[in-house]
Amino acid sequence: MAEELEAEYPGWKKALEDTGEQVGFFSRFFKNIFTGGFEWSELVRQCYEIGYRSIMLVGITSFIMGVVLILQLRPTLIKFGASSMLPTTLSVSFIREIGPVIIAIICAGKMASSIGAELGSMKVTEQLDAMEVSGANPVQYLVVTRILATTLMVPLLTVIGDVIGLFGGFLALNLRDSVSFSLYFTKVIGALGFTDLFPALIKTIFFGMAIGFVGCYKGFHTSKGTESVGISANSAVVTASLWIFVIDAIAVQITSILFYK
């Protein structure tokens, strides 16, 4: 039966095994959050490495996105005589969708690859095995701390990126028009409600968790050889980016059903 299925649909067994392994890995992560000996100092170190060291990248990208969006939106809105809607349009589109998704993609590129490469090289150089045979728990020390750090830091970076992006929009708007700081931000904040902020923030938590999980999983499952480290890092970025879009699609559906009937 299994052989017939394999002939008909090659790779199904491997796909099932991979899914099973991922579920097992995720359950090990959850189990280890609540078992004794939580690594607080390592969590703080990872938050610093993953979060603080990404602020510059996220800030610059968000600022440019804010500027570009205003420059792209302006001619179109002027055509409809709605140039006064620029801050509102930027604010809603940036906070609801563009900010969280683009920042998460940037974080996937930076965090998932670095986690995948770091754990992958630890695997290749037998450091993970050394940790395991010493009786220490590599999942608790390496995986739990990294996934929690990305889960905490991606939403925080998104908030920071959103603010910087909106500020970039303000500067871009003043390149052509003259809008006061208070008027711009009154319009920006006035356009936002609970249904814009809350779902956007919640989905970034899942983005962060996906980035950390994919990075750790790919790193832990690196096969032997230095070439595999590069493959793991690359695969971590691609898979995490894909997951971000999948989660975003699901989140938008749920938000639409709950808030925009």
Question: Contact positions toward another protein, by CB under 8 A?
Answer: 37, 118, 122, 125-127, 129-137, 141
Structure tokens at 167: 């500020």
Q: How far is the CB of 11 from another protein (least distance, A)?
A: 16
Angle between helix 194-220 and 145-176 (nearest 10):
130
Nearest CB to another protein, comparing residues 12 and 245: 12
Nearest CB to another protein, comparing residues 37 and 193: 37
In angstroms, the CA 20 to CA 221 distance is 13
Nearest CB to another protein, comparing residues 27 and 72: 27
Nearest CB to another protein, comparing residues 133 and 257: 133
Nearest CB to another protein, comparing residues 39 and 97: 39
Where do runs of H (alpha helix) occur along 12-54? 12-34, 40-46
Q: Are 239 and 213 in contact (CB under 8 A)?
A: no
Q: How far is the CB of 148 from another protein (least distance, A)?
A: 18
Structure tokens at 117: 């490469």
Q: How far is the CB of 216 from another protein (least distance, A)?
A: 15
Q: Is the dihedral of CA 131, 139, 157, 118 positive or negative?
A: positive
Residues 6+ away with beta carbon under 8 Å from 203: 100, 247, 248, 251
Nearest CB to another protein, comparing residues 142 and 173: 142
Residues 6+ away with beta carbon under 8 Å from 237: 108, 109, 112, 113, 116
Structure tokens at 22: 């991922």
Q: How far is the CB of 16 from another protein (least distance, A)?
A: 17
Q: How far is the CB of 218 from another protein (least distance, A)?
A: 18
Q: How far is the CB of 138 from another protein (least distance, A)?
A: 10
